[in-house]
Amino acid sequence: MIYFLLPITSLFLLNCKRRSILIFVFVFLFGIFSGGRGPNVDLDYINYYNLWYKSYRLTEFYIEPIPKFIFYIVHDLNLNLNFNVSLIIFSILTLYFLYRSCENLKANIPIFFISYSGYFYLVQNMMQVRFGLGLALFLFGLTKIESNSRLAILFIIGSVLCHQSLILLVFFTVTYKFSKSSLFFYMFFLAIFFQVISLLKIDFLLPLFEFINSVSNNNKVDFYYNVYLNTNESTNVFNLLHLINISLMCTCIFCVVKVFNANRIIYFMINAMSLGVILFILFYKLPSFSFRFSEMMFFFLPVVLSYIYNNVNLIYRVTILNLSIISSVISIYKVVYDSAIIAPYSFYLF
């Protein structure tokens, strides 16, 4: 039940205006909570422990150097620091840049954390810590793209230096200038089209792999091709969390089209969510890819909801608040109690 305290705490701070309190709770306390988890809480704990404990050669810092540097510093400072100190650093940095991103966008910070503290906080802060930090850096860079393009580029590059998969978002930023054009509607209707035709269970991967193999020979592609051929796993493209995400995305689209004129960043984020739906369907035969693409793109959902909340009237605010609470509670139930991706909480010192 302790995980449900995360959105409840955020709800109690809904009308709080004191920045010091919000930073203390959402950055420091939430960071200690996720970073201080015990070894049996998440599935990736032992993997990150091994990354912290190993000795790095200089050449290993060429790929994803930021996480490796954090692990290296904590382990090799000869201060007898516990492994969880590195996880706490990851978590606090991630939450800090998320907090600052909401400030830059003038989004409602408690609303963001009500929505974020469901699926995204549990999975990206308590499991995929490198991925979570990379997304936070990308978001912060995105919020600076209009006012300080050099700083924006620096943070966007930093996101890839945390996790290579963020290169997809970097490539997608080429659409930024066109985000508020007709591309917005094309992306949305294409996403809905792919969701509908997913009922036909069309296999998109076979021709894709055959094309890639015809023009190049890559060991990693061969590995995933063999995984695809030798397993019968597939993603449930109508699972509850995915349908909730699509419903909330449609709510966001209605608000920015009918209720108020949002800035270009918000349109870009919604376009990214539409792309997330498309990739989710395209790669449903490779669940690890399918879910990763969906998580990457729908990471923007709490940001857009919290931005919209500050730009609409009371009726819409109440609607967004209720939807955020409901989606967060359902997400926590699915992640902790239904799928058991996250186990009951324990603190590493106890």
**Taking residues 215-220, what's their average pLDDT?**
70
pLDDT score of 268 more than 80 = yes
**Taking residues 9-18, what's their average pLDDT?**
95
Range of the domain at 79: 2-338
Tens of pLDDT along 72-112? Answer: 888 887 667 889 999 999 999 999 999 999 999 999 999 99
Distance CA 251, CA 273 (A): 13
φ, ψ for residue 37, nearest 5 deg: -65, 155
pLDDT score of 279 more than 90 = yes
Give CA 323 to chain center in angstroms: 19
Percentage, residues of the chain above pLDDT 70: 98
Tens of pLDDT along 295-308? Answer: 999 999 999 999 99
115 pLDDT band (50/70/90 cuts)? Answer: very high
Residue 79: its pLDDT value, please? 67
In a domain, residue 346? The reply is no
Residue 122: its pLDDT value, please? 95
Residue 336: its pLDDT value, please? 94
Residue 312: its pLDDT value, please? 95
SS (H, E, C) the chain: CHHHHHHHHHHHCCCCCCHHHHHHHHHHHHHHHHHCECCCCCCCHHHHHHHHHCCCCHHHHHCCHHHHHHHHHHHHCCCCCCHHHHHHHHHHHHHHHHHHHHHHHCCCHHHHHHHHCCHHHHHHHCCCHHHHHHHHHHHHHHHCCCCCHHHHHHHHHHHHHHCHHHHHHHHHHHHHHHCCCCHHHHHHHHHHHHHHHHHHCCCCHHHHHHHHHHHCCCHHHHHHHHHHHHCCCCCCCCCHHHHHHHHHHHHHHHHHHHHCCCCHHHHHHHHHHHHHHHHHHHCCCCHHHHHHHHHHHHCCHHHHHHHHHCCCCHHHHHHHHHHHHHHHHHHHHHHHHHCCCCCCCCECCC
In a domain, residue 350? The reply is no
In a domain, residue 188? The reply is yes
CA angle 181, 184, 189 (to 5 degrees): 140
Query: In this structure, what DSSP letter does residue 146 have?
Result: T
Residue 289: its pLDDT value, please? 85
Residue 234: its pLDDT value, please? 87
Residue 111: its pLDDT value, please? 98
In a domain, residue 154? The reply is yes
pLDDT score of 173 more than 80 = yes
In a domain, residue 345? The reply is no
Percentage, residues of the chain above pLDDT 90: 77
pLDDT score of 333 more than 80 = yes
Helix (H) or strand (E) run with residue 277 in it: helix 264-282
Number of domains in the chain: 1
In a domain, residue 319? The reply is yes
Residue 222: its pLDDT value, please? 72
Q: Which residue has the higher pLDDT, 74 or 139?
A: 139
**Taking residues 113-124, what's their average pLDDT?**
95
Tens of pLDDT along 180-193? Answer: 999 999 999 999 99
Q: Which residue has the higher pLDDT, 221 or 90?
A: 90
CA angle 206, 210, 212 (to 5 degrees): 120
pLDDT score of 225 more than 80 = no
In a domain, residue 344? The reply is no
229 pLDDT band (50/70/90 cuts)? Answer: confident
* Length of the chain counted residue by residue: 350
In a domain, residue 16? The reply is yes
1 pLDDT band (50/70/90 cuts)? Answer: confident
Tens of pLDDT along 320-330? Answer: 999 999 999 99
